[in-house]
Amino acid sequence: MMIALKTYLDDHKSAIDAALIGYLRQYSLTDRMLRPLEYAISAGGKRVRPILCISACIAVGGQARKAMPLACALEMIHTYSLIHDDLPALDNDDLRRGKPTCHIQFNEATAILAGDALLTMAFEVIAEAASDAPDPEAKLWLQILRSVSEAAGCRGMIEGQARDLGFEGIKLNRNDLESMHRLKTGALINASVHTGALIGMGSDQQIERLNDYAANIGLAFQVVDDILNVTGDASILGKAVGTDQSRQKNTYPALLGLEQSELYAAELIDRALLALEIFDKKADPLRAIARYILYRNR
């Protein structure tokens, strides 16, 4: 990883981590919910979605500070989805990023509530930031609310998760696999970039290009994830490898083979970089993130 990107990611990650903990403490009445929420949110995520949100805001000329509440809301939604996905009735995972998952560390009831709490809190954070914004920005925040809620809902992440569950053991074609991923992980990544550009007051053309960028890196992210489940090192990834194959999960390596999957990931990243052509150097972090997706954890 380039030193400049590493510093950029580390700095933003620290700021996001601090802001997230601040929100949890502000919105939790007692330790009862605060402890599992802090545990889940501090589990060492890379903060991909909030960093994309802030970077998209910067790319269109906005200030990182303005995107921070939104960035935190997106990470809360992502974290809630992981907590619920890990539950015994869903993926039944005991480990996440090398640590016991929420229902193992606490219990199932707490994990279900903690997920519900984070999803709800995301909208509390958006509501608060929107209420504090100057009046003319109220409409903009409603657009953001719409984009985020749609991405997280039945026309986005939840439908993707439901398809993923329903597809286990069924062999998919490439189209079905792709549309599942566009919903399950792509929708929230798209919303992160899209709403970051909205809060940064990007032009229609900028927003269109950034949507294109997001769609390509979102899919690339998933393809690389599938590849790492085959070739990765469990101690670096912080989760078990080889699990997709044993669960007969539909993956790109299973469908295309490993080599074609790697070529496809590279092609998606090329398309993402092409979409950024109209931007100046303020989009360099987005460019670096796109390249980093290809080479992470190797």
The answer to whether 285 touches 5, Cβ cutoff 8 Å, is yes
Please state the closest distance from residue 113 (CB atom) to a second copy, in A: 6
The least CB distance from residue 102 to a second copy, in Å, is 12
Rounded to 5°, the CA angle 193-48-5 comes to: 100
Of 229, 194, 227, residue with least CA distance to 53: 194
Minimum gap (Å) between residue 175 Cβ and a second copy: 15
The conformation of residue 45, written as its DSSP 8-state character, comes to -
Taking the least distance from each CB to a second copy, the nearer of 142 and 263 is: 142
* Residue 245 in tokens: 């194959």
At closest approach, how far in Å is the CB of 87 from a second copy?
6
| Smallest separation (angstroms) from a second copy to the CB of 108 | 4
Residue 34 or 234: the one with the smaller Cβ distance to a second copy is 34
Comparing CB distances to a second copy, the nearer of 39 and 279 is 39
Instruction: State how far the Cα of 60 lies from the Cα of 74, in Å rounded to an integer.
Output: 19
Which residues here bind a second copy, judged by CB under 8 A? 27-30, 32-34, 37, 80, 84, 87, 89-90, 107-110, 112-113, 115-117, 119-121, 123-124, 126-128, 130-131, 135, 138-139, 141-143, 145-146, 149-150, 152-155, 158-159, 161-163, 165-166, 183
Nearer to a second copy, 47 or 163 (CB): 163
Q: Minimum distance between the CB of residue 284 and a second copy, rounded to whole angstroms?
A: 32
Query: What phi and psi values does residue 95 have, to the nearest 5 degrees?
Result: -125, 145
Report CA-CA distances (Å) from 186 to 97, 121, 211, 261: 21, 22, 11, 17
Backbone angles phi, psi at 111, to 5 degrees: -65, -40
> Which candidate, 33, 64, 38, places its Cα nearest to that of 51?
64
Nearer to a second copy, 3 or 89 (CB): 89
Q: Which residue, 119 or 217, has its beta carbon nearer to a second copy?
A: 119
